[in-house]
Amino acid sequence: MNEWEDFEKAQGHLSKHSIRSYKQSYNRISDKLDESIVDAKQKDILDIVKTLSESPNTKTQLINGAMQIRRFYNADVNKLLYARERLKVRIQEVKDAVNDEKFDTLPNASELKKWLNKLFSEERWRDYIINYLLITFNTRNKDLDLQIIDNKRKAKDKNMNYLVVRPKGGSIAFIRRSYKTVATYGEKTSDFTSQKALHAVREFVKEKGGEYPLFLLSTGHNKRIDETSIAKFIRARTLDGLSESDINKMQVSTIEKLNDFRLLKKMSKNRGTSVDNLITEYHLKFKNK
């Protein structure tokens, strides 16, 4: 029996990312076992996991991989499950400690506004656009991998994000078709009329030669940067190198009362995530007891 191949063939419902993650866990554990994961004692699997990493997150990932295989073959997972639950407690403790530190060190909304004004006054147009979109629309990095165009009819690529600079009317449409949760929330279109943002976009286009389409995240002669470089590219242009996640955490954490659904719903719609997820994953003072 080839336990991995048989398992993989039956997992058509899983994403490629999940399969890749399970396979990595499977390989790391099975390489150190004298028998298959299905036939091995759970204690032996756990002993191996302890040697593979000190990180509770990595340990959890490894155990998850082993559990998936064993469940497929109806092998016991009770000890693995118990160990995973204990690790979840540890993960939450680490997360709470990190969040407490972030709450004290992350900039506030006023500092972000000053940063935006600084970028504008220094005519750093691309940097201003990036930060404006991150702050205003609670975006992830992938949302900013976009083309700037001058007519919505040119927004033909169903897998591309766009900023549509309308020649009349004084507004820009932000169209998102490629972002993390698009399968759940679908295409998003947001209009903005901020005069500073409009000016920044138009000046950025002029700065790059005035030709459309124009990639926001690019190098050289309008060469779109590789997806693996997006996070680094963006953090090089944010206040103190903040990540998009940190900016979102700061904004969500300014909500003192968790029942302020007007702001939470707006952030939820902007980002394409549930209100519950915003609270549990991004509110720095939320403790998941």
Q: Helices 275-282 and 261-271 sit at what angle, rounded to 10 degrees?
A: 90
Strands annotated E in the chain: 146-149, 161-165, 172-176, 188-192, 214-215, 218-219, 223-224
Report the candidate in 42, 63, 216, 211 with the shortest Cα–Cα distance to residue 132: 216
How far is residue 62's CA from residue 50's CA, in Å, rounded to a whole number?
A: 10
Q: Are 191 and 173 in contact (CB under 8 A)?
A: yes
pLDDT tens string for the chain (289 positions)?
588 988 888 887 878 888 888 899 999 999 999 999 999 999 999 999 999 999 988 999 999 999 999 999 999 999 999 999 888 877 766 665 655 566 666 788 889 999 999 999 999 999 999 999 999 999 999 999 999 999 999 999 999 999 999 877 789 999 999 999 999 999 999 999 999 999 999 999 999 999 999 999 999 889 999 999 999 999 999 998 988 988 888 887 777 545 566 787 888 888 888 877 776 666 645 555 4
**Amino acid found at 182:** V
> What CATH superfamily is the domain 109-282?
Intergrase catalytic core (1.10.443.10)
Q: Where exactly are the structural domains of the chain? A: 3-98, 109-282
